[in-house]
Amino acid sequence: MAETVLSISHLTKRFGDQAILEDLSLEVREGEVVVIVGSSGCGKSTFLRCINALEDIQGGEIRLRGELIQSDRKNLPELRQKIGMVFQSYELFPHLTVLDNILLAPVRTQKRSRQDAREEALALLDRVGLKEKADSWPRQLSGGQKQRVAIVRALIMHPEILLFDEVTAALDPEMVREVLEVIVNLAEQGKTMIIVTHEMPFARAVADRIILLDDQRILEESDPETFFTDPKTDQAKKFLQTFEFSRKTKQRLKSPKGEFP
Amino acid sequence: MPDLGLEVLWKGKNFVRLLGGLWVALRISLIAAGISIVLGILLGVAASRKRSVSSAILRIWLGVIHIMPQMVLLFLMYFGTTRAFGWNLSGEVAAVIVFSLWGSAEMADLVRGAVTSIPAAQRESAEALGLKPTQVYRWIILPQAVRRLIPQSINLITRMIKTTSLVTLIGVVEILKVAQQIIEANRKASPNAAFGVYLTIFVMYYLACRPLSLAAKKLEKRWG
Amino acid sequence: MDWAYIESVLPLYGKAAWLTLRTGAAGILLATLVGLLCAAALYWKVPVLRRITAAYVELSRNTPLLVQLFFIYYGLPKIGVKTDPEACGIIGLAFLGGGYMTEAFRSGVEAVDRIQEESALSLGLTRFRTFLHVILPQAAAVSSPAFMANVIFLMKETSVFSAVSLMDLMFTAKDQIGLYYRTTESLFLLVSAYLLILLPFSLLGTFWERRLRHAGFGT
C-alpha cells in the first residue's frame, strides 16, 4: 500500500451561516488520481482552495505528509510549494514572459539557480509541446496554451500533489483535448492528483477513484467503472443522467431537421 | 500634560479672530471657484468641439497654467502688474484673479473631458431619433456630463480652498497671518502658542475640506 | 531687461534651483515610499494599521502643504521636535505626497484581480514577494499616469518652501524684488527657472502616458 500524501479529516467550511463543506474526510495516497465531480456550486472548487489554505476552514484539519496546513502558519509558503494548483482561468502573470512565469517561484522561493531552473522549464515546455513559446507573452497564447504553461509552472516546483480546478471549463471546445492529454500523461507518470472536472469521459479515463460531492459532503466514492456503470445512490444516478440528457439533446440539435420536442 | 499652547485660543477674541482669518481665505476661494465654474463651463463647451480654434487656444493656455506653480502665478500677478501696467492690486484682488484664471482653465478641461467622454454612439442614436443638435445637447449629452462634472467641481473647490492658503505669502491677512499675530502677541504668556494655534488651523482646514471631498467621493460612487 | 544684472545673479538662481530640485526629489522619493507602504497596508487589510493609513491619507489630502509646513516648522519644536528648514520641507512634502501616492498606488493595486495573488501564493511565494513581483508590476501600468501627475504636482508644491525660510527660487526672487526693485528681471528668472525644472517632467509624463496607452505586455 502506497504512503498517504494528503489526509483530510472532518473538514468543515462555512461562508457566514452557509455551510459549504460539512465534516468531510478524504485520504489521498501516493500516485493516486482522485477525481471530484458534482453539480455546480456544490463546493468542489472551495474544497481545492481549502487544501491550499486559500480559504479559512471552520473545523477539521488538513495534513500534507503529516504537516498541518493552516492559513495562519508561518511555514505556509513552504507547504504551498509542495502543492501545485492550476486554476480555471489560468492566472498566468501578464507582466512576465512564459519562461519568467515558470521561473518566478523556483528562483525566488526555492533559491534555485536561474540556469538550472531554466533548463528544466524548457524541458517541461517541450513535453507539453510549447518549447518555442518560452519567450512569448501570455496574451499571445491561446487558452489551451496558457493552461499548459500554467501546468508547467506548477510542475517545476516538484509538488507532492497537484490540484486541478476545472482547468478546461474556460476553454474553447477544440482546445480541451490538448490540455487533458497533458494531465493524462502526468497520471501515467504516477503523479498524485486531485482533479475537479465536468468532463466525464476524461474523468473515467484518468481516475483511480471518483468522488461525488453533493449536499456539503462526499455522497459516493468508488472506482470509475462502478461509478459510471453501477452508481449506488439516487443522487449519483441523477447526476449522471444530466450528462446523458445533454448528450441526447446535443444529438437532437445536430440532426439535420433540427427537430426539438 | 505638557504645555501645548492651546489656552491662548480662549484668551480674548483670539478664536473668533482665527475664524475671521479663515473666512477671508474661504471668501477668496469661493469667489474664485464661482467665477471658475461659470467661465470654465463656457470655455469647456467651446473647446469640446474637436479641432476648433478655441480648443487649440485652450490647450495652450492650459499648458501654461498647468506647468507654473500657483505661487509663481500669484507672484506674477501681484508684482508683475504693478511693474508692467502700474496697477496697484491688493493681494486679495490679485489672488481672486489668479485663482479664477487657474480654476477656469482646470474647469474647462474637466468640462471638455466630461463632454468628450460620452460615446459618439449616444449622439448618433439621438440624432437617428430625429433630435436637433441643440436637443441632443440638452437631453442626451448634458445630463450625462453633469453627473461626472458635479463631483469633479466639488473637488476643484477643495483644491481652491487649499491653494488659497498661499495668499498669506503676498501679504493678505488671512488665517495664517492672524495666527502669527496671535503667537507674537502672546510670546511671553504662552510660549508654546505656536503648537496649539497651528494645530488648530490644521484641524480647521481639514474640517473645511473633508466634508467636500467626502461628498464628492459619495457622488462619484453613486453616479460612477 | 538688464542682461548684465541677470548674468550677475545667475549663480544665485542656480543655487536656488538646485535646492528646489534637491528637496523636491528627496520629498517625492520619500512620498513614493510612504505611498507604497500605505498601499500595501490597505491591500493586505492589516488590522489597525489600515485605519491609521486611511486617516492619514484623508488628513494629508485635505490640508494645504503650507499649513502642514507651518505646523512642522513652528509648531512641533514647542513639543521638542526640531527640524532645520530643508528637512522640514522634505518631511512636509513627503507627508502631503504620501497621501496622494497612496491613492495612486491603491487604485492600481485594486485593479489587479485577487486571484492573481492567490495564484502566486499557491506557488509558495510569500505575501511580500507576491506583492513585490506579481501585484506591483501589474499595478504600475494602471498607477503610472497618476504617479507622474503627482510627481509634477509635488514639484510645483515646493514653491511654498520659502515660507519656512528655505532659500529657494521664490525666496530669491522675492529677495531681489524687495532689496533692489528688480521686478522684471526677477520674475523673468523665476518663470524661466521653473519652466526649466518642470517642463522635462511634464514632457516625460505626456510621453510616458502615451506609451502606456499603447503598451500592454507582449503587444
Q: Which domains can be identified in chain A, with CATH numbers?
A: 4-230 (3.40.50.300)
Q: Which residues does A contribute to its contact with C (CB < 8 Å)?
A: 49, 52, 54, 77-85, 87, 89, 91, 93-97, 104-105, 108-109, 136-140, 153-154, 157
pLDDT (average), residues A109-121:
93
Q: How far apart are CA C5 and CA B220, in angstroms?
A: 53
C-alpha cell belonging to residue C72? 512642522
Q: pLDDT above 90 covers what percent of chain A? A: 75
Q: Is C219 on the interface with A (CB under 8 A)?
A: yes
ipTM of model over 0.95:
no
Distance from CA of A154 to the nearest CA of C (A): 7
Q: Among A58-72, B111-125, B189-203, which is the least confidently predicted range?
A: B111-125
Q: Mean pLDDT in chain A?
A: 90
Confidence check: pLDDT of C69 > 90 = yes
Residue B101, all three cell numbers: 484664471
User: How does A156-170 read in b/e, with b if 16+ C-beta sit within 10 Å?
Assistant: bbebbbbbbbbbbee
Which pLDDT belongs to residue A258?
Answer: 40
The mean per-residue pLDDT over the stretch B187-208 comes to 92
B28 at C interface, C-beta within 8 A? no
State the pairing for strand pair A59-64/A4-15. Answer: antiparallel
The shortest CB-CB distance from B79 to any of C79, C156, C183 is to C183
CA distance C146 to C205: 10
Distance from CA of A78 to the nearest CA of C (A): 6
| CA–CA dist A231, A212 (Å, integer) | 10
Q: Is the pLDDT of residue A260 over 50?
A: no
For the segment A95-113, the average pLDDT, to the nearest whole number, is: 93
How far apart CA B18 and CA B178 sit, in angstroms, is: 6
CB contact under 8 A, C77 and B194: yes
Q: Assess C29–A contact: CB distance below 8 Å, yes or no.
A: no
Position C154 pLDDT exceeds 50: yes
Of C115, C121, C123, the CB nearest to A157: C123
Q: What's the pLDDT score for residue C14?
A: 94
Residue C106 has pLDDT above 60, yes or no: yes
Phi, psi (5° rounding) for residue A212? -100, 120
Contacts C125 to A, Cβ<8 Å: 77, 104-105, 108-109
pLDDT, tens digit (0-9, with 9 covering 90-100), for B100-140 = 999 998 898 899 888 888 888 888 888 888 788 888 888 88
Q: Do A139 and C115 touch (CB under 8 A)?
A: no
Q: Does an interface of 3+ CB pairs under 8 Å exist between B and A?
A: no
User: Which domains does chain B possess?
Assistant: 7-223 (1.10.3720.10)
pLDDT at C218 over 60: no
The answer, yes or no, to whether A and C have at least 3 beta-carbon pairs within 8 Å is yes
Rounded to whole angstroms, what are the CA distances from A42 to A20, A36, C102, C131? 7, 11, 40, 32
Confidence at residue B151, expressed as pLDDT on a 0 to 100 scale:
94
Mean pLDDT within B6-27: 89
Q: Which pLDDT value is given to residue A62? A: 95
Q: Which of C124, C126, C217 sits opposite A95 (nearest CB)?
A: C217
What is the distance in angstroms between the CA of the first residue and the CA of the last residue of chain C? 53
For A130-187, write each residue's pLDDT tens digit: 999 999 999 999 999 999 999 999 999 999 999 999 999 989 988 999 999 999 999 9
In chain C, the domains with their CATH numbers are 3-214 (1.10.3720.10)
Predicted pLDDT at B3? 77
State whether residue C184 sits within 8 Å of chain B by CB.
yes
Task: Sort out which chain C residues have CB atoms less than 8 A from B197's CB and list them.
Answer: 75
Model confidence, pTM: 0.86
- pLDDT category, A257, cuts 50, 70, 90? very low
